[in-house]
Amino acid sequence: MITFYDFPMAPSPRRARIVLHEKEIDHETVVVDLSRQEQMGDEFRAINPRCTVPALRLDNGTVLDDNASILAWAEAARPKPPLLGTTPLEKGEVAGWNARAEFEGLLAIAEALRNSSPRMKGRALTGPVDFEQIPELAARGRARLAHFWEVLNERLAGREFLAAEQFSVADITALVALDFSRVIKGEPAEDHEEIWRWRTSLDRRPSVSA
């Protein structure tokens, strides 16, 4: 049986959870309670030495230890529905917008949150190594995120999906960033109407509430 290591409140495993749901890949779920630091314990470290979720253990015991590897495996193992685009051009577009949603969206939120939250003192980056917070980075993260919402709103004008005229991992990463931006009260303004229209339409997909 495939085992998915998850934490329901965290954004990164949610990305993989949506992918597994879209692809209808059967699995059992093990919750790694990040609020109790279970990711740092010996038991989980033996599964994923990177001390992060998501992780996916395959039938043969191999552990895929991040979103990039889980997505690549899932797309190859179960090509339908395609989440990485179909034509060469679509694949390029999807890869580009997924990277932007990750770097300019999700990582900007992480930069703001992890460099300001008292709970994350000494844990400014995820992983096995402790890094101190740099408070100035919190403001930079917020500024980067605000700029990303401008870019996203403009991109979505007249479009149903972020890339490639079909639902893709670019939409998944951007919607996870959008929903998670609530934790830093960094959501886009109400007049970013294209973003809110796109987000509302994605609620039709069962994977979004998986």
Ligand X SMILES: N[C@@H](CCC(=O)N[C@@H](CS)C(=O)NCC(=O)O)C(=O)O
Q: Which chain residues interact with ligand X by CB under 6 A?
A: 10-12, 34, 39, 51-54, 66-67, 123, 126
- Report the residue number, 34 or 164, with the smaller CB distance to ligand X: 34
- Residue 11 or 188 having the CB closest to ligand X: 11
Contacts of 202 (CB under 8 A, 6+ apart): 167, 171, 175, 208
From the CB of 53, what's the least distance to ligand X, in Å? Answer: 5
Rounded to whole angstroms, the Cα distance separating 63 from 101 reads 25
Select from 121, 202, 206 the least CA-distant residue to 167: 202
Instruction: Choose between 32 and 152: whose C-beta lies nearer to ligand X.
Output: 32
Listed residue (107, 8, 5, 110) closest to 64, CA to CA: 5
Q: How far is the CB of 36 from ligand X (least distance, A)?
A: 11
Measured from the CB atom, the residue of 32 and 156 that comes closer to ligand X is 32
Nearest distance from residue 52's CB to ligand X, in Å? 3
Q: For the CB of residue 31, give the shortest distance to ligand X in the complex, in Å.
A: 12
For helices 193-202 and 169-180, give the axis angle rounded to 10 degrees. Answer: 110
By three-state DSSP, how is residue 76 classified?
helix
Which CB, 153 or 173, lies closer to ligand X?
Answer: 173
In angstroms, give the least distance from the CB of 69 to ligand X.
8
70-to-10, 65, 74 alpha-carbon distances in Å: 16, 7, 6
Which helix H or strand E contains 153, and what residues bound it? helix 136-156
Q: Are strands 28-31 and 3-6 parallel, antiparallel or unpaired?
A: parallel
Shortest Å, Cβ 29 to ligand X = 15
Nearer to ligand X, 109 or 202 (CB): 109
